Amino acid sequence: MFSKGLLLGLALAASTLGAAPAGLPADGGPVADLCHSLRPQTIEAMNDALYRARNIGQFQIVALVLPSLGQQAPQAIAQTSFHTWAILKSLPDRGIALILVPASGQAWIECGSGISSSLDEKTLQAILDKHVLPRLRDRDPDSAVIDGCSALAAELDVDLGVAPSSRFKRTSAYWFRKFYPYVVGIGVILMLAAMMVLVSYRQEPTVPGFRHPDSGKVFSRGKFIFFTSRKRRPDSR
C-alpha cells in the first residue's frame, strides 16, 4: 500500500518524478486539508498537538489530505512538502508525512532519512492497517488523521493527548461492518431452527404404545422427536 523512500532532495524529485500536484502548502499548520473533508475542530486540535510534539521530540508529523495524487508518486509529494512547507524546512530529514486520499481510500506514510531508522516499514504498514485504512473505509477521515498521527507519535514516545474521534463518531458504514456478521449468523441459526421444527412437525409420532390419530397405526419402536403439536392418545387395544 505504500513505499518508504529516503528523501534525496527536491531537485532530484523534480527531475525524476516531475512536479508535485498544485496546491501543496507552503505555510500553515501541520494539517493540510486540500479536499475540505476534515472538520475545523479536528484541524485545530491536531495542529496544536503536532506543534507540541515537535517541541518535545524534535520531529515533525504532517498530514496531507488530498483529492488525488495526480500523476505523482507519494514520495515526490512528500519530498516537495518537506522542502517547501515552512514548518518542515528546519527539520527536512526528521519529517513524517501522512498522506491521505479519502476518495479512493488510500494512504501512505513517508519518512525523512533522519527518522527512518526509528520507523521501519513493518511498523508503518501496521499503523496504516490498524489505525488509518479502516477509518478511511468507514469514510471517517477525521479519525484516520487523529489515530494515524497519534500512533506515529506514540512510536516515537510522544503522546499527542488527542482523543480519537472514532470513539465519538460512528458512521452507518462502521455499524454495518461491525454487526453484519452477527446478524447473518443469527439469521442462519433461526432459519435452521425453523426447518427442524417444520420437519419434526410433519413426522408421524413414534412413541411406543401410541396410536396415530389419523392412520390408527400403532408404533412398536420409539424414535427421537424434536417437536410436534399433534395430540397422542394411548392405544385402546
Instruction: Indicate if 19 and 47 belong to the same structural domain.
Output: yes
Instruction: Indicate if 157 and 215 belong to the same structural domain.
Output: no
CATH number at residue 163: 3.10.310.50
CB within 8 Å of 193: residues ≥ 6 apart:
none
Instruction: Indicate if 23 and 136 belong to the same structural domain.
Output: yes
CB within 8 Å of 6: residues ≥ 6 apart:
113, 116
What local confidence, expressed as pLDDT, does residue 10 receive?
31
Query: What b/e readout covers 122-161, taking b as 16+ CB neighbours within 10 angstroms?
Result: eebeebbeebbbbbbebebbbbbbbbbbbbbbebbebebe
Residue for grid cell 468507514: 138
The pLDDT tens digits of the residues spanning 102-148 come to: 999 999 999 888 887 788 899 999 999 999 999 999 889 999 999 99
Q: In the listed set 120, 142, 169, which residue is the last one of a domain according to the structure?
A: 169
Instruction: Indicate if 138 and 213 belong to the same structural domain.
Output: no
Pairing of strands 106-111, 210-211: unpaired
**For residue 32, what are the domain limits?**
10-169
The pLDDT tens digits of the residues spanning 181-230 come to: 888 889 899 998 888 877 765 555 555 555 555 555 554 444 444 444 44
Structurally, the chain folds into a number of domains equal to 2
Instruction: Indicate if 87 and 134 belong to the same structural domain.
Output: yes
